[in-house]
């Protein structure tokens, strides 16, 4: 790379922030343009009424996710295993009692990040040497003009760069960003067919003043084919002094408002875990269909469709446009690990 090249990163999720952090360690300055009013993208930890870190987005990872684990170590962030001790429940039919099962102590447990996954985002933003992060900056078009790229923002602002690295999901690139000159036809055909992992998912969290389920021998883990909650896990914090659940709701839940979704969730948990489940301190949920994650109705036939596609590894606009982001990763695409793998790969491309 030539010295003093100006690099713009589109998207302030895990991939964009990891890329900015890794490049800043090499003394390479970047500017992040983020469309929304917050950093993190598909990572979003909120604080409950008792300050419990509650995950509306990415939560778990395993020992296989070695790039994520080494980044956490480098940033001095702690991981801890997902609680799974005690009776877990599997509900097949709403009119039959749930089956009870015990999750064996695993060689490969799922982990969570102490203080919430957002701690990773906040720490990356803090440790990136150059503080060039622009929120509320939605990229609308990228135009190659001579040896530069001009990046136009929804509100009319423009930024000029030598290189632009797009970390937003490829499906969004296809529907939201105009290119001049237009991109290769083969790429234009692939972009809308790349599945954005977890787009459309509905995640819920509950906060409680005590871990009543633990005290009664339950793990808090639930799988159900019968109720609005399809999967649920204990969501106690690292220090084990704040309590809750997190999990996923079935797709049909989108047709109810949040108050009704809460009512259905509590009814199901009340039947399975008893009346103490009926009185949480707080309930939150998020349907991941907003314009920063999904656009239109993409035709996706299988999970992770076209993730890591070879065309996403190439350079465009005469080497001035590169793709990053978890969906471009050739391994663990869709996951936090993939977001970091992609950022490492682009870093190596830029510094070599
Ligand atoms: C509900 C849910 C649960 C998940 N659970 C897990 C889990 O347990 N474990 C795991 O490993 N992974 C999980 N994931 C996936 C994980 O969140 C992603 O792999 C990872 O966060 C992706 O990071 P990214 O930077 O590649 O993309 P994103 O996080 O999508 O970041 C892209 C950023 O670009 C911004 N943006 C979009 N359009 C524009 C534009 N036009 N201009 C500028 N900026 C733009 C977005 O606002 C966003 O901030 C989950 C995801 C969801 C939604």
Which atom of ligand 1 is nearest to 138's Cα?
Answer: 42
What is the 45 CA–ligand 1 centroid distance (Å)?
13
343, 22 Cβ separation under 8 angstroms: yes
Determine the pLDDT at residue 171: 96
Regarding the domain delimited by 1-43+117-195+294-352, which CATH topology (the fold level of the hierarchy) does it fall under?
Answer: FAD/NAD(P)-binding domain (3.50.50)
By most ligand atoms within 8 Å of CB, the mutation choice from 8, 9, 10, 11 for ligand 1 is 11
**What are the structural domain ranges in the chain?**
1-43+117-195+294-352
* Burial bucket for residue 26 (CB in 10 Å: 0-12, 13-18, 19+): exposed
Determine the pLDDT at residue 296: 80
Determine the pLDDT at residue 93: 84
Q: Where are the alpha helices (DSSP H) in the chain?
A: 14-25, 66-74, 118-127, 170-176, 185-190, 212-215, 258-273, 336-351
10-residue stretch averages of pLDDT, the chain, 352 residues long: 82 98 95 98 98 98 97 98 95 88 84 98 92 95 97 97 98 97 96 96 98 97 96 98 98 96 97 96 97 88 96 97 98 98 97 90
What is the 77 CA–ligand 1 centroid distance (Å)?
20
What is the 105 CA–ligand 1 centroid distance (Å)?
30
Determine the pLDDT at residue 2: 57
Residue 279 CB partners (closer than 8 Å, separation 6+): 208
Determine the pLDDT at residue 89: 96
Q: Is the CB of 30 under 6 A from ligand 1?
A: no
Determine the pLDDT at residue 14: 98
Joined tokens for residue 148: 């530069």
219, 234 Cβ separation under 8 angstroms: yes
Which atom of ligand 1 is nearest to 197's Cα?
Answer: 15
Determine the pLDDT at residue 94: 77
Q: What is the DSSP letter of 198?
A: T
Residue nearest to atom 4 of ligand 1 (CA): 58
pTM of the model: 0.97
Residue 336 CB partners (closer than 8 Å, separation 6+): 14, 43, 58, 61, 65, 68, 117, 326
Strand partners, 234: 245
């Amino acid at each position: 790379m030539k010295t003093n090249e100006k690099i713009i990163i589109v998207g302030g999720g895990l991939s964009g922030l990891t890329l900015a952090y890794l490049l800043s360690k090499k003394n390479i300055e970047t500017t992040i343009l983020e469309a929304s009013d917050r950093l993190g993208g598909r990572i979003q930890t909120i604080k409950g009424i008792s300050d419990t870190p509650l995950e509306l987005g990415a939560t778990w990872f395993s020992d296989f996710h070695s790039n994520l684990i080494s980044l956490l170590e480098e940033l001095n962030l702690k991981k801890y295993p997902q609680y799974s001790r005690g009776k877990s429940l599997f509900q097949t039919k709403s009119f039959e009692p749930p089956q009870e099962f015990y999750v064996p102590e695993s060689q490969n447990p799922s982990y969570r990040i102490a203080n919430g996954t957002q701690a990773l985002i906040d720490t990356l933003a803090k440790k990136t040497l150059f503080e060039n992060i622009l929120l509320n900056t939605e990229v609308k078009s990228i135009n190659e003009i001579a040896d530069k790229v001009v990046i136009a923002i929804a509100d009319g602002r423009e930024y000029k760069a030598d290189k632009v690295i797009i970390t937003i999901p490829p499906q969004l690139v296809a529907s939201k960003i105009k290119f001049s000159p237009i991109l290769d036809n083969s790429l234009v055909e692939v972009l809308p067919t790349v599945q954005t992992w977890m787009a459309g998912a509905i995640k819920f969290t509950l906060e409680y003043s005590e871990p009543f389920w633990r005290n009664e021998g339950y793990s808090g883990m639930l799988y159900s084919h019968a109720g609005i909650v399809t999967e649920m896990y204990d969501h106690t914090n690292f220090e084990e002094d704040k309590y809750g659940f997190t999990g996923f709701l079935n797709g049909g839940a989108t047709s109810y408002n949040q108050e009704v979704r809460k009512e259905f969730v509590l009814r199901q948990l009340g039947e399975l875990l008893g009346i103490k489940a009926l009185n949480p301190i707080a309930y939150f949920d998020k349907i991941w269909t907003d314009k920063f994650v999904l656009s239109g109705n993409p035709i996706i036939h299988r999970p992770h469709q076209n993730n890591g596609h070879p065309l996403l590894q190439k350079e465009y606009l005469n080497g001035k446009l590169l793709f990053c982001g978890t969906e471009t990763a050739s391994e663990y695409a869709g996951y936090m690990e993939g977001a970091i793998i992609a950022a490492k790969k682009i870093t190596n491309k830029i510094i070599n």
